[in-house]
Amino acid sequence: MLSILIPTYNYNVFPLAKALSAEAENSTLPIEIIFVDDASPLQFPELKKLGTLPQVTYIKRTKNGGRTATRQLLAEKSQYPKLLFLDADVFPVHPDFIARYLKHITQKGICLGGITYKKEKPKSDQTLRWTYGHARETLSVAQRNKAPFSSITTGCFLIEKEVFLNIHSTIQVTTYGEDLLFKQKLEEQNIPVLHIDNPVYHLGLESNQQFLEKSLEAVATTVILEENGELPKDSRNIQKIYLKLKKWHALSVFQLYFSTIASKVKRNILSENPNMRWFDLYRLNYYIQLKQKKRA
Per-residue model confidence (pLDDT) at position 286: 98
Other residues' Cβ atoms within 10 Å of the Cβ of residue 246: 12
Strand order in the sheet with 115-116: 90-92, 200-202, 115-116
Please identify, in words, the CATH class of the domain defined by 2-202. Answer: alpha beta
Please answer whether residues 251 and 228 qualify as being in contact, where contact means their C-beta atoms are separated by less than 8 angstroms: no
Select from 3, 7, 36 the least CA-distant residue to 20.
3
Strand pairing report for 193-195 and 110-112: parallel
User: Where exactly are the structural domains of the chain?
Assistant: 2-202, 208-295
Q: Which has the closest alpha carbon to 217: 179, 176, 180, 182? A: 176
Which parts of the chain sit beneath pLDDT 50?
none
pLDDT number for residue 88:
97
DSSP annotation of 11 reads S
pTM of the predicted model as reported, rounded to 2 decimal places: 0.95
* Spatial distance between the Cα atoms of 273 and 263, rounded to a whole number of angstroms: 16
C-alpha dihedral (145, 86, 132, 12), degrees to nearest 10:
160
80-132 pLDDT, tens digit each: 999 999 999 999 999 999 999 999 999 999 999 999 999 999 999 999 999 99
pLDDT value of residue 287: 98
How many other β-carbons are positioned within 10 Å of the β-carbon of residue 170? 11
The CA distance from 296 to 291, in Å, is: 9
